Amino acid sequence: MDISALHTIQALTGSIAVRPVHPLEVLFHAGDPGDRIYCVLSGEIELTWEGGGRESFLPGQVFGVGALVTPDHSRHATATAKVESEVLEMNREEFLFAVQETPMFAVELLASLEHRLRRLQGEAPAA
């Protein structure tokens, strides 16, 4: 996400839970049920897949979006804080409120997902 998305998310922190996360603390494990998304406000969170893949998320970036779009979602990776961090936790109702109040938030989220997909495709080995 770009800096404007981070500002939008920070504006929501008055009504949405901000969670401090200590180094090596796990937010969720692969296989856990998922019912919320996360946005990194500060620090760095790393997702680790069982197959060995890793992806880092920095301030302004969102992860765990599948939890809001898939019924009975199970996490595909383990999320661990690399350093002292803060994340914004949003459940489905909070996410829908954020989209209603600031429609650009949804556009920014879609743009970040597309950027992430393109980056991951670029890292994938050729078949």
CATH (domain of 58): 2.60.120.10
Number of domains in the chain: 1
* Residues of the domain holding 18: 3-122
* 46-105 pLDDT, tens digit each: 999 988 889 999 988 889 888 887 778 899 899 999 999 999 888 888 888 878 877 777
Letter string b/e over residues 32-48, b meaning 16 or more CB atoms within 10 A of that residue's CB: eebebbbbbbebbbbbb
pTM of the predicted model as reported, rounded to 2 decimal places: 0.78
Q: How far apart (Å, rounded) are the C-alpha atoms in residues 115 and 109?
A: 10
The answer to whether residue 127 is domain-embedded is no
